[in-house]
Structure 1
Amino acid sequence: MSAFNAIDADRDVERDEYTPGIEPQATWCPGCGDFSVLKALKGAMSELGKDPEEILLVTGIGCSGKLNSYFDSYGFHTLHGRALPVARAAKLANPDLEVVAAGGDGDGYGIGGNHLTHTARENHDITYIVFNNEIFGLTKGQTSPTSPKGHESKTQPHGSAKDPVRPLSTSLTAGSSYVARTAAVNPNQAQEILVEAIEHDGFSHIDFLTQCPTWNKDAKQYVPYIDIQQNDDYEFDVTNRPEAAEMMYETELAVHDGEILTGRYYRDDERRSYTEEKQAIGEIPEEPLAERYHDDDYEWERTYDMILDAHK
């Protein structure tokens, strides 16, 4: 029995199956990079053969938060910056569910930055896509955590006095076991990275550069870009943390000088996910909790019963 009948259905899934009937056409601004995220996500899930009913897409607030309105699967639209804790809870309850979280740079690196740190530290087996356009788009163009120093906006009319957040370096330091950066202008690479991230057992963080032609004209289209795996000038071992950290730092400096580096930066396939760690110490059962509550014969457990038993 499965909590979702579609899990492990093992069938070919067409890209169009992820297009909802209620709101099939995305309404982002013309030229917005968010369209590329949607296209890459549909392509990746189709390539992996994931049925819409075995996917949960959790989003935050902002232009990126509209993603699950345009992607037909289970969805949860959370509060600003709170996509990751909801995604974590869903994955712990049903590890067989494919859980993807998505948010913007303000949502993920600003108000939800603490959740990124701890989700990475615990290595939850979910994929996190951050739409990084270096601006607050939906609220009409305020400086964001990734806006470059000196960037002028409604909230910083004289230019930002702060250095930007370095999302790749932050993610690696916090403990992500898969870290990558791609861009809306590189759709083939974007889909390939999403496939790898979703297949990875552990926390996968993708910094997805998405141009905002309406509110952040300084960032333009993030072109030309360089795929670091396809360029001999950037050879390093993605499984080596110090080498990955050095490459990330170089990438985060280069982006504000007009050199856009993208690709895979770090991967650790040996580390156990948080669910596996909890199962190893007996705090999470092998059988998903979600399965139990779809079994009419199962006697529900109450947390207070466990607490009382522990103190007898």
Structure 2
Amino acid sequence: MSAFSAIGENAERDRNEYTPGLEPQPTWCPGCGDFGVLKALKGAAAELGLSPEEMLVCTGIGCSGKLNSYFESYGFHTIHGRSLPVARAAKLANPGLTVVAAGGDGDGYGIGGNHFTHTARENHDMTYIVFNNEIFGLTKGQTSPTSPKGHKSKTQPHGSAKDPIRPLSLSLTAGASYIARTAAVNPNQAKDIIVEAIEHDGFSHVDFLTQCPTWNKDAKQYVPYIDINDSEDYEFDNTDRSEASEMMHETENVLHEGTVLTGRYYVDEDRPSYQQEKQRIGEIPEEPLAERYFDDDYEWERVYDTFLDKHK
């Protein structure tokens, strides 16, 4: 079975189908929030009826980078901060694939921050899950872009002098069309949000709070949490950019004061994806580019021929 013949099967799935035989047991630290991401992704894939062959999981470097080792599907373990450009290329070549990119807060908001903003700006049709534990975990506890001001670490022994990045607000400003935050301690909400993110046509950004009990004891476990979409204390329209922006700003202000707000912050169902825009102007064909590799009769086009024709 290939990534082409499996697409559109619509079969009932069990979450255990996404447990690989080669490395079924994750080696994350006991109590790590990354287990919550894996569980939520397995549950979402099963609920959507996706076969492992229909999915591609691209990861960066760090604890989060092991996600595609523990999830049975096509996978690509990229270099630090580069999961998004690889995921973008795969989705453009084979749009039938369900593409999920993943990385940590350092991988996604720091080293790969430029890719994050431009992928959101272009609205590529994929889901991006950022494991946000406010620390560099794999390299043993350095300050990350989301570490709170004053946080002491190996790289900031006297406390960080920098304000943390605001991932939700940054995502909205950059142009993501689905933005949500969830937490490993809220598995049901996490699964539902990932289902919605995958179903969304466009760039879906999920900021996933994942506690790190080994290297970031200050963050604890992000509890208690409040679902802003269910709470009467936080009423806003998540299809309105202005109201979404205000809600994000409040969420990011109170996180380090002990109030953990989660939920769906912004949803734009009307904005075309990058692929749809490119097809509209005739720069991407309707059929998947990747299928040409399986077509022995296809006559390959050469880019330089296009330029030569213009100068004849």
Q: Same fold (TM over 0.5)?
A: yes
- Report Cα offsets for 1:157-205 as digits up to 9, x if no partner: 0000000000000000000000000000000000000000000000000
Aligned to 2:133: 133
Aligned to 1:63: 63
Q: Does 1:92 align with 2:99?
A: no
Aligned to 1:220: 220
The 3-state SS of whatever aligns with 1:293 is helix
- Mapped partners of 1:153, 1:121: distance in 2: 33
Which residue identity does 1:235 align to in structure 2?
A: E
- Mapped partners of 2:259, 2:307: distance in 1: 56
Q: Does 1:42 align with 2:42?
A: yes
Q: Where in structure 1 are there 5+ consecutive unaligned residues?
A: none
Aligned to 1:273: 273
8 Å CA contact 2:153, 2:159 repeated in 1: yes
The 3-state SS of whatever aligns with 1:222 is coil
Aligned to 2:302: 302
8 Å CA contact 2:105, 2:131 repeated in 1: yes
Aligned to 1:123: 123
- Report Cα offsets for 1:72-129 as digits up to 9, x if no partner: 1000000100000000000110111100000000000000000010000000001000
Aligned to 2:77: 77
Deviates more, 1:288-297 or 1:106-115: 288-297
Q: Does 1:101 align with 2:101?
A: yes
Deviates more, 1:97-106 or 1:6-15: 6-15
Distance apart, 1:305 and its partner CA: 1.8
Distance apart, 1:306 and its partner CA: 2.1
Deviates more, 1:297-306 or 1:222-231: 297-306
- Mapped partners of 2:311, 2:227: distance in 1: 57
Distance apart, 1:135 and its partner CA: 0.1
Aligned to 2:240: 240
Aligned to 1:175: 175
Distance apart, 1:309 and its partner CA: 2.2
Aligned to 1:23: 23
8 Å CA contact 2:3, 2:53 repeated in 1: no
Which residue identity does 1:287 align to in structure 2?
A: E
Q: Identity of paired residues, percent? A: 80
Which residue identity does 1:301 align to in structure 2?
A: E
Distance apart, 1:2 and its partner CA: 7.8
- Report Cα offsets for 1:274-296 as digits up to 9, x if no partner: 00000000000001101122111
Distance apart, 1:5 and its partner CA: 1.2
Moved over 3 A (4+): none
- Mapped partners of 1:256, 1:205: distance in 2: 21
- Mapped partners of 2:102, 2:117: distance in 1: 15
- Report Cα offsets for 1:132-166 as digits up to 9, x if no partner: 00000000000000000000000000000000000
TM-score by length of 1: 0.99
- Report Cα offsets for 1:246-286 as digits up to 9, x if no partner: 00000001100000000000000000000000000000000
- Mapped partners of 1:311, 1:82: distance in 2: 36
Distance apart, 1:3 and its partner CA: 5.3
TM-score by length of 2: 0.99
